[in-house]
Structure 1
Amino acid sequence: MEHTPTNPGAVLVHGLWHGAWCWDAVRAALAERGVDSVAVDLPLTDLTADTRATLDALESFGRPAVLVGHSYGGAVITGAGAHPLVRELVYLAAFQLDDGESVSRTRAGEGLPDTGLGEAMRVSGDEVRLDPGLGSRLLYSDAPADVAAAAGARLRPVSRTVFRGVPETIAWRTVPSTYVVCTADEVVHPERQRAMAARATRTLEWSSGHSPAATRPEEVAALVAERVAAAGRAG
């Protein structure tokens, strides 16, 4: 693919406790496919700041983009996705929120049993950390042990405020969206994902745990490259 300032690319938004590093394998696979990408490093202080960081990344990217959000990153792209450069939203086991919803309170999937995430969280003042062992097992349930351990060692604390953040804009109402339900997820209940996915333009299901960017980077890259190509054809 010839690279010009008008070629669409991908902007990738991580979830809680992570950083831009979690997209490294996906970005490498996208580069092999000729797709430019950037991964946002969220401050994880509150949803407003995380949304602003993503809008700033879109501005710096400076070309049409498919905006991809994983887990909490779905709340971020829901708020940032109305940016005029965004051509499509891709939700990976992510929070496709509606008006008034936050990651700690969604109407979609109400009444479902909790996953083990609450048991893995450790709260100290305004900070929320994950138990190193249990957190890694939940986030990377289908990853090789060395991959899960390496990723788990890089997790960082987040502010309690992020769990209460409500998007100011609901971008999926006006921007096409693709939702990937991860059916073996032990962090965001698959049935909750399916309930949120009903809001998307199209839905896929993968037999994956919560972190396909780590366990299936080629598959994630193939999907993102496909949506970037579609965005390019649509102009």
Structure 2
Amino acid sequence: MTTADNSRPAILLVHGAWHGAWCYDRLVPELTALGWRVETVDLPSAAADEANTAGMYDDARAVRERLDAVEGPVTVLAHSYAGIPATQAAADAPNVSRIVYLSAFVLDEGESIDGMSGGKISGAGVDSLSAHGHYEDPKAAFYGDVAPRDAEEATARLVLQTARSFCEPLTAAAWKTVPSTYILTERDTALAPEFQEAMAARAQRVHRLPSGHSPFLSMPVELAKLITTDAGR
């Protein structure tokens, strides 16, 4: 979505694996209330279609298309898996002023989730690297600190995620040239805080939230204030 005033700062919200732009429904009004224009994008690798074979490069193209359509400087907020296509897309995007990695993967050229797992995904015999399925016990992993009813609703909206998206390696790392911030979620059970610490070492600034993996649902007010305060520094 986009607000009418193009003179305001813009932020592009990029969702993680198995999700969609819907996951930011509570964060968007908090950001707009603080004066931000908000853009979202749906990544093609996350879909209900079991025959879907879209990968990380397709996701990166979708992110880049949204960036190209935004006037003025843009802060990119990338959650979890989205850190990878956002890093790829922002590498040569002239209007990206900052990348905010929210409990996200911050990878280097040649790296992929599959590579970090020792080839467990590509070596599993997934036909054509198509639909990889759901995360095991997503409610507990993603929404442990989210209100029970909201967690149930979010879990019901999750879709399939392609294995290809986890296997395609980065060819460009925007965090080397674009200012970046990492928001570490300290009570995360989907992406371990120790792993996040290693990823955060690649960012210029690091903040911490006492939340699980999805603070845009569990603490959207606090997250919005943290994002906008950081961007204003």
Paired position in structure 1 for 2:226: 223
Provide, for residues 46-105 of structure 1, a one-character-per-residue CA deviation record: whole Å limited to 9, x for no partner.
111100000100111222100110000111111112210100000000001112111233
* SS, match of residue 78 in structure 2: strand
Alpha carbons of 1:131 and 1:161: their partners in 2 closer, same or farther (altered >3 Å)?
closer
Paired position in structure 2 for 1:87: 97
Q: CA deviation at 1:193?
A: 0.5
Among candidates 131, 146, 151, match of residue 148 of structure 1: 151
Among candidates 47, 64, 79, match of residue 55 of structure 1: 64
Q: Is the 8 A contact 2:108 2:172 kept in 1?
A: no
Q: In the alignment, is residue 207 of structure 1 matched against residue 207 of structure 2?
A: no
Q: Please say which of residues 92-101 and 215-224 is displaced more in the overlay.
A: 215-224
- Quick one: percent identity of the two aligned structures? 36
Q: Please say which of residues 3-12 and 45-54 is displaced more in the overlay.
A: 3-12
Unaligned runs of 5+ in 2: 46-53
* SS, match of residue 17 in structure 2: coil
Q: In the alignment, is residue 160 of structure 1 matched against residue 167 of structure 2?
A: no
Provide, for residues 187-230 of structure 1, a one-character-per-residue CA deviation record: whole Å limited to 9, x for no partner.
11111100010010011121211111111111221122224434
Q: In the alignment, is residue 46 of structure 1 matched against residue 49 of structure 2?
A: no
Paired position in structure 2 for 1:233: none
Separation of aligned partners in 1, 2:163 and 2:4: 41
Q: Is the 8 A contact 1:70 1:92 kept in 2?
A: yes
* SS, match of residue 128 in structure 1: coil
Q: Is the 8 A contact 1:10 1:224 kept in 2?
A: no
Correspondences of 1:6-17 after superposition (within 5 Å): 6-17=7-18
Separation of aligned partners in 2, 1:221 and 1:124: 38
Q: CA deviation at 1:31?
A: 1.0
Unaligned runs of 5+ in 1: 111-117, 231-235
Among candidates 92, 107, 112, match of residue 102 of structure 1: 112
Q: Is the 8 A contact 1:8 1:228 kept in 2?
A: no
Alpha carbons of 1:197 and 1:106: their partners in 2 closer, same or farther (altered >3 Å)?
farther
Q: Is the 8 A contact 2:182 2:205 kept in 1?
A: yes
Separation of aligned partners in 1, 2:89 and 2:77: 11
Q: In the alignment, is residue 69 of structure 1 matched against residue 78 of structure 2?
A: yes
Aligned residues: CA RMSD: 2.2
Separation of aligned partners in 1, 2:112 and 2:225: 29
TM-score (norm 2): 0.85
